[in-house]
């Protein structure tokens, strides 16, 4: 069974199927890439929790940056956010994002947490 949450005509923020959670790309607000990354990861964390998962269960992350010059600043926030020993498979590249003020977008796939386990 496929379960979709926060769905509109274009997309769903959460799709669950076969023990896996797929999140739509998340962007954040802020004056720079660090602020946007923090906000974005906060959104990811909230969606994962709603879906019955957590950042410890992230399998893969795809990160798009508007400019690769922001790679180091984004990674400082990312590295502090990812729990030690739970780094997912990850890709990062440069792309033109949906609005000119956006600096980062994160797309996450995670396992659904087993009851009673994190």
Model confidence over 27-55: pLDDT tens digits?
A: 999 999 999 999 999 999 999 999 999 99
Chain-centroid distance, C-alpha 105: 8
Q: What is the residue extent of each domain of the chain? A: 3-111
Residue 90 has pLDDT above 70, yes or no: yes
The reported pTM is: 0.93
Task: Judge residue 6's burial from the number of C-beta atoms within 10 Å of its C-beta, 0-12 exposed, 13-18 middle, 19 or more buried.
Answer: exposed
Residue 115 has pLDDT above 70, yes or no: no
pLDDT band, very low/low/confident/very high, at 2 (cuts 50, 70, 90): very high
Say which CATH superfamily domain 3-111 falls into: RutC-like (3.30.1330.40)
């Amino acid at each position: 069974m496929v379960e979709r949450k926060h769905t509109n005509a274009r997309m769903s923020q959460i799709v669950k199927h076969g023990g896996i959670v797929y999140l739509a790309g998340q962007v954040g607000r802020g004056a720079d890439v660090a602020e946007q990354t923090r906000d974005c990861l906060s959104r990811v964390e909230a969606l994962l929790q709603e879906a019955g998962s957590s950042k410890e269960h992230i399998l893969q992350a795809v990160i798009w940056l508007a400019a690769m010059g922001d790679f180091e600043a984004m990674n400082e926030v990312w590295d502090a956010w990812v729990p030690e020993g739970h780094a997912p498979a990850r890709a990062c590249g440069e792309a033109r994002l949906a609005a000119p003020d956006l600096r980062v977008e994160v797309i996450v796939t995670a396992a659904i947490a087993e009851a009673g386990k994190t």
